[in-house]
Amino acid sequence: MDLTWNVQGEDLFVGVSGKLDTMSAMDLDEKFNDMPDEIRNIYFDLDGLLYIASAGLRVLFWANEYTEDKGGTTILKNVAPDILEILKITGFKDFINIE
């Protein structure tokens, strides 16, 4: 997994490419432990994401719950068709913002 992380005020921009498998999802989850408290919105750029495991979906679910609790939003951008299909099948498309 390749990861970019950029905090701008209340917004966090996370770029994820490669594979978001169980191990890399654990790494991303740990990174969220160091996230500043003022973050309200999380924007995931998934350009180049080739694979997402259930552990990766859990990270997205956590991010969505976190931002909702803060009165913000989580947005997924540049979602590949294969990843979008997984989000549809798992029901994520029904509650998470996808652009």
**What is the span of the domain harbouring residue 30?**
2-98
Q: What is the pLDDT of residue 4?
A: 95
Instruction: Give the CATH number of the domain where residue 66 resides.
Output: 3.30.750.24
Q: Distance between CA 15 and CA 18 in Å, rounded?
A: 10
Q: What is the pLDDT of residue 63?
A: 97
How many domains are there within the chain? 1
Model confidence at 88, in pLDDT bands (50, 70, 90)? very high
Over residues 5-28, the pLDDT tens digits come to 999 999 999 999 999 999 999 999
Over residues 28-87, the pLDDT tens digits come to 999 999 899 999 999 999 999 999 999 999 999 999 999 999 999 999 999 999 999 999
pTM: 0.94
